[in-house]
Amino acid sequence: MNQTAELAPDRQRHAPIAAVEPFHAIAVSRVAHELADAGRDIIHMEFGQPSTGAPAAAIAEAHRVLDTEAMGYWESNPLKERIAAHYAETYGVAIEREQVILTCGASPALVLALSCLFAPGARVALARPGYVAYRNTLRALYLEPVELPCGPAERYQLTAAALAALDPAPDGVIIASPANPTGTIIAPDELAAIAAVCQARGIRIVSDEIYHGLSFVGPARSLLEHAPDAFVVNSFSKYFSMPGWRLGWAVVPRESVGAARARMGNLFLTPPVIAQRAGLTAFGCRDELEQHIATYARNRALMLAALPQLGLDKVAPPDGAFYLYADIGHLTADSLGFCERLLRDTGVCTAPGIDFDPVEGHRFMRFSFAVSTDLIEQAIARMIPWFAAQPHLNGG
């Protein structure tokens, strides 16, 4: 029987929106782990996760907490104050401690943002390609993703012009700069123009700033510099190299603080005490963290230099984050199958473009270079002969 026919009328209205798709890179990664269990040497470039671990002092602080604290439900005011100070220092933006909500990563922060700002059925614009969870979290919350195709000409980013041209205006927009899967950054002027269009058209902004701090072209600017009522999400998962600690934050517009706190308390309670304590310590570990960026910069340069040897010439060089999103349309129309074959043949695990773009992603793939430089060199050496042996779709 048709599943929709069984649903109550109100659910039927939203049923198509609620179809949440899997994250295909997880399936590829599962194969990688099976191969590793069988003795294969795997290089993991499928997920955007630093392989470096938390800063040493943060780990030491975590040991201390384990030995001395009972770890109940708790929110660290010192950490909120440190985050608020970070906005003043880094972006020249004044926020109050109460606007900072500590979360278990950017993922719940995104749920808070979307559920505070929008009612079911609201239309929220986003760039395509984009982070897989945007589309799926919107759908899970019965919001309608309005995907704007962004190609190499826009360096895969939303523009003020595209937002101004949308008719009717969407209720909201998700901005990500640097972006996943491309690492591209929206130029400061364009960011200001986007904020102006949103202000003029009443479009609420959710700004995912999770890759801030990871930039190769100068610092990324916060949307808060142009739109004080933007809802910002961020995390310790990337710059701070602490993805498994599950710690992040939201900077919430003043009028949404009550709504955000209520949702946090009901949906997620608090992030782990050990992570909050270690996270505060990590703010004092800049020297160690900046070394990771030096590694990513080296890896980026090696990957960019290797692209011609892989025959990949349609790539927007990443401004930040640790990704390369490559057009492989001359080699395949099935990026998932392509990534699986690459994995089985070479042990190099990557992410298929279909995770980031349901329309064009079948001819793209994403490399994450958040691994050691040694592994990047090994991956390149394995991939060059493999790519050279792939038949071209046009027979060329």
Residues comprising the chain, all counted: 396
Q: 106 or 220, CB closer to ligand PLP? A: 106
Exposure of 167 in the CB half-sphere (CA atoms within 13 A): 1
Alpha-carbon distances, residue 171 vs 60, 185, 237 (angstroms): 45, 23, 29
Q: 131 or 283, CB closer to ligand PLP? A: 131
Number of amino acids touching ligand PLP (CB under 6 A): 13
Rounded to whole angstroms, the Cα distance separating 174 from 146 reads 10
Q: 204 or 246, CB closer to ligand PLP? A: 246
Rounded to whole angstroms, the Cα distance separating 137 from 335 reads 23
Residue type at 178 in one-letter notation: P
Give the interface segment with ligand PLP, choosing from 88-96, 104-112, 306-314, 342-350 (CB under 6 A): 104-112
Interaction between residue 102 and ligand PLP (CB under 6 A)? no
Rounded to whole angstroms, the Cα distance separating 165 from 249 reads 32
Give the interface segment with ligand PLP, choosing from 29-37, 118-126, 235-243, 282-290 (CB under 6 A): 235-243
State which residue has the least CB distance to ligand PLP.
105
Q: 252 or 306, CB closer to ligand PLP? A: 252
Q: 275 or 310, CB closer to ligand PLP? A: 275
Give the interface segment with ligand PLP, choosing from 103-111, 155-163, 222-230, 290-298 (CB under 6 A): 103-111
Give yes or no for a contact between 278 and 240, defined as CB atoms under 8 angstroms apart: no
Which residue of 180, 182, 256, 295 would you call a contact of ligand PLP, by CB under 6 A? 180
Q: 169 or 232, CB closer to ligand PLP? A: 232
Cis peptide before 178 (omega within 30 of 0): yes
Interaction between residue 350 and ligand PLP (CB under 6 A)? no
Rounded to whole angstroms, the Cα distance separating 368 from 355 reads 14
Task: Report angle CA 113, 114, 118 to the nearest 5 degrees.
Answer: 120
Structure tokens at 96: 């109050």
Question: Binding string, 105-144, against ligand PLP, x = CB under 6 A?
Answer: xxx-----------------------x-------------
Which residue of 129, 172, 183, 248 would you call a contact of ligand PLP, by CB under 6 A? 248
Least Å from the CB of residue 172 to ligand PLP: 16
Taking the alpha carbons of 180, 185, 186, 191 in that order, is the dihedral positive or negative?
positive
Interaction between residue 210 and ligand PLP (CB under 6 A)? yes
SS3 215: strand
Alpha-carbon distances, residue 42 vs 184, 352, 373 (angstroms): 28, 17, 15
Residues 30-89 that bind ligand PLP (CB under 6 A): 48
Query: Which positions lie near ligand PLP, rule CB under 6 A?
Result: 48, 105-107, 131, 176, 180, 208, 210, 235, 237, 243, 248
